[in-house]
């Protein structure tokens, strides 16, 4: 890990690092907020934040306003990038925002040429936590949350790996990429045409298949212009009722898909995770 920047924030440190990823075969950047308790030598628990389409590790760090509450709670926040990066990493031929660079969808690609680099699932689940826990003052207690594409990533990663995460939450998640245009485009190209191979990356399908119960919180704005066409929160509600899976799904009138929505309710999510991390 090479530190790129470090600034003091609410008694803690907002840091940015880079490292050579063996999983993604490129140099990756990520950001970490270390609360003041970490500076005192305490190993603090970690909440992993997964961002949405077009984002980098910096969007959440600069827009969400999460550091004040994380400092109070003694929780570190790790903010990865959303895809592999670099001149050698393939991108969408049309430079579309919803596929390729900035749109890794938190899957392990199986199709050429994407499978050489687009392995964000294994990067988030295995490589990045191992690096963080070996080199920073953090424990192996982890929660995971995210927004939009990152909400999809948080839900599917947690549901696939219940022993690794104490809790999961999401803002405006893509709950069923199998059933929306963003997901169909991305999973079709990263994983191939057989939709049976897509199910492990679909929260609705994982819950329907009997995923283990985890504490889960989902917030969705009713003024979100992607709600009906891409996010389809009602599909998550239906499978929760069908299976008896317990989760708190909250709708908020007037809120859209932006970081204004995230900033409004980020304290709720951090306190939700802190209950289980502690």
Each residue of 195-225: pLDDT tens digit?
A: 999 999 999 999 999 999 999 999 999 999 9
Please provide residue 224's backbone torsions phi and psi, each rounded to the nearest 5 degrees: -75, 120
Answer yes or no: is pLDDT of 40 > 90: no
Digit-coded pLDDT (tens) for 126-179: 999 999 999 999 999 999 999 999 999 999 999 999 899 999 999 999 999 999
Answer yes or no: is pLDDT of 105 > 90: yes
pLDDT at 135: 96
Note the helical H segments in 136-215: 149-160, 181-191, 203-208
Does residue 69 contact residue 56 with C-beta atoms inside 8 Å? no
For the residues of 51-86, what is the DSSP string, one character each?
Answer: --TT--THHHHHHS--HHHHHHHT-EEEEE-SS--S
Beta bridge partners of 142: 46
- For β-strands 44-50 and 76-80, DSSP reports them as parallel
Residue 245: band (very low, low, confident or very high) from pLDDT cuts 50, 70, 90? very high
Residue 27: band (very low, low, confident or very high) from pLDDT cuts 50, 70, 90? very high
Over pLDDT 90: what percentage of the chain?
97
pLDDT at 41: 83
- Average the pLDDT over 3-25 and give the result: 97
Residue 230 to residue 103: CA distance in whole angstroms: 15
Q: Which two tokens stand for residue 232?
A: 């389809």
- Average the pLDDT over 32-36 and give the result: 97
Average pLDDT along the chain:
97
- Average the pLDDT over 73-98 and give the result: 96
Answer yes or no: is pLDDT of 247 > 90: yes
Over pLDDT 70: what percentage of the chain?
100
pLDDT at 31: 98
Q: Which two tokens stand for residue 122?
A: 């294994």
Does residue 203 contact residue 154 with C-beta atoms inside 8 Å? no
- Which residues are designated catalytic? 148, 224, 257
Better pLDDT: 250 or 162: 250
Answer yes or no: is pLDDT of 39 > 90: no
End-to-end Cα spacing for the chain? 27
Threshold 0.85, pTM exceeds: yes
Residue 42: band (very low, low, confident or very high) from pLDDT cuts 50, 70, 90? confident
């Amino acid at each position: 890990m090479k530190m790129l920047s470090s600034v003091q924030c609410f008694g803690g440190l907002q840091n940015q690092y880079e490292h050579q990823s063996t999983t993604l075969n490129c140099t990756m950047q990520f950001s970490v907020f270390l609360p003041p308790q970490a500076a005192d030598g305490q190993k603090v628990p970690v909440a992993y934040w997964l961002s949405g389409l077009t984002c980098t590790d910096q969007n959440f760090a600069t827009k969400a306003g999460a550091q004040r509450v994380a400092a109070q709670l003694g929780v570190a926040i790790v903010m990865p990038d959303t895809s592999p990066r670099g001149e050698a990493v393939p991108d969408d031929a049309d430079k579309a925002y919803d596929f390729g660079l900035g749109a890794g969808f938190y899957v392990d690609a199986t199709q050429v040429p994407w499978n050489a680099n687009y392995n964000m699932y294994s990067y988030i689940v295995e490589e990045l936590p191992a690096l963080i826990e070996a080199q920073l003052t953090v424990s192996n207690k982890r929660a995971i949350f995210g927004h939009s594409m990152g909400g999809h990533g948080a839900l599917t990663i947690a549901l696939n790996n219940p022993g690794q995460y104490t809790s999961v939450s999401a803002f405006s998640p893509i709950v069923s990429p199998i059933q929306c245009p963003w997901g169909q485009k991305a999973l079709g190209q990263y994983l191939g045409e057989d939709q049976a191979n897509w199910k492990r990356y679909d929260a609705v399908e994982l819950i329907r298949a009997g995923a283990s119960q985890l504490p889960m919180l989902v917030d969705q704005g009713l003024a979100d212009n992607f709600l009906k066409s891409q996010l389809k929160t009602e599909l998550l509600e239906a499978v929760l009722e069908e299976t008896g899976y317990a989760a708190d799904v909250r709708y908020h009138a007037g809120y859209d898909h932006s970081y204004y929505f995230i900033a409004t309710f980020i304290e709720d999510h951090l306190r939700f995770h802190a209950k289980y991390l502690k």
